[in-house]
């Protein structure tokens, strides 16, 4: 007899014996009557299947889990938000990654009848309400826009029509700005390094020779900017690509400058100070008296 990885077993004398054998073989009870019939820990998709077996196929998966299932390139969430139709009531399930929700689908329908409660826009809005850190909220918005570039208007409308929405202005800014931010590191560069220190905003996502795209460029100072985050600048292929881009910049009279994740996130003032020293004539100022940016 074979089973799917996640299977529902209704109580009976025969299943009791079967489950006893299964536990000896490494099976794991995920929820009441829902078992993982394979050794090892349950995966994210195992929990999703368990939710549908337990609550029914009619449920919606919202929040960060909904974004992940929609293809947004983010780490798999530790919890799964469950959207339940109005006629369903459910108690909290303990010792589980599933977080039952009492939100009502009809409430969302009244706000925007054309929006499905498990749409990317609603999933994003739900995530933002539970995210307190601004940088983390920005990461969710940027990743969602990058994935759903053709339906950004619908996502903006969903976020804007929520009566209570945390990070509303941030989401609107990141969903409508042109060009779009390619990563949260680019957004942090602007908000933590450039703006507080009076550095002119680099032209973002600049397409130059041989169709290379630089994270930023200061044309007046003949300098290109590359922000080397782990997502796009790890591995031999990324190193080879970045080296080729640097050679292309030098061949056209531009000086390439690279900063990493730690430079932007953990040491923005020191990074601004270094930038001011590297580029003669670059406008700059201290963000506070203790800031190491040199006096202009």
Give the pLDDT score at 168: 95
pTM above 0.85, yes or no: no
What average pLDDT does range 178-193 have in this prediction?
94
Whether residue 235 has pLDDT greater than 70: no
CATH number corresponding to 184-278: 3.40.960.10
Q: Which of 55, 12, 64 is nearest to 30 (CA)?
A: 55
Tens digits of per-residue pLDDT, 80-132? 888 776 555 555 454 567 766 555 555 555 455 555 667 888 889 888 988 89
- Which of the four pLDDT bands, split at 50, 70 and 90, describes residue 56? confident
Give the pLDDT score at 81: 82
Percent of the chain with pLDDT over 90: 54
Side-chain-facing half-sphere of 164: CA atoms under 13 Å: 3
From CA 241, how far away is CA 258, in angstroms rounded? 14
**φ and ψ at residue 68, rounded to 5 degrees:** -60, -45
What is the full DSSP assignment across 164-210?
S-TTHHHHHHHHH-SSPPSSHHHHHIIIIIIGGGTPPPPEEEEE-GG
What are the sequence ranges of the domains in the chain?
1-42, 58-176, 184-278
Tens digits of per-residue pLDDT, 5-28? 999 999 899 899 999 999 999 999
């Amino acid at each position: 007899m074979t089973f799917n990885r996640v299977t529902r077993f209704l109580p009976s004398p025969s299943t009791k014996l079967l489950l006893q054998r299964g536990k000896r073989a490494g099976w794991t009870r995920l929820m009441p009557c829902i078992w993982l019939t394979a050794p090892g820990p349950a995966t994210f998709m195992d929990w999703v299947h368990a939710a549908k077996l337990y609550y029914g196929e009619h449920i919606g998966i919202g929040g960060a889990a909904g974004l992940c299932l929609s293809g947004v390139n983010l780490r798999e969430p530790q919890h799964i938000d469950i959207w339940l139709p109005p006629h369903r009531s459910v108690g909290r399930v303990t010792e589980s990654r599933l977080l039952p929700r009492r939100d009502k689908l009809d409430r969302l329908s009244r706000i925007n009848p054309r929006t499905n409660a498990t749409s990317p826009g609603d999933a994003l809005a739900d995530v933002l309400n539970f995210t307190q850190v601004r940088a983390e909220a920005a990461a969710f918005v940027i990743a969602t826009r990058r994935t759903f570039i053709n339906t950004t208007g619908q996502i903006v409308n969903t976020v804007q029509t929520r009566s209570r929405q945390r990070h509303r202005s941030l989401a609107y800014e990141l969903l409508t700005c042109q060009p779009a931010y390619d990563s949260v590191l680019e957004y942090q560069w602007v908000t933590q390094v450039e703006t507080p220190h009076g550095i002119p905003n680099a032209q973002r996502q600049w397409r130059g020779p041989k169709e290379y795209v630089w994270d930023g460029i200061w044309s007046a100072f003949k300098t290109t900017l590359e922000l080397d985050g782990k997502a796009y600048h790890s591995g031999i292929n990324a190193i080879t690509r970045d080296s080729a881009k640097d050679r292309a910049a030098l061949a056209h009279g531009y000086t390439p400058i690279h900063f990493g994740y730690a430079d932007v996130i953990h040491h923005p003032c020191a990074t601004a100070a270094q930038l001011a020293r590297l580029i003669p004539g670059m406008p700059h100022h201290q963000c506070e008296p203790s800031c190491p940016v040199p006096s202009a």
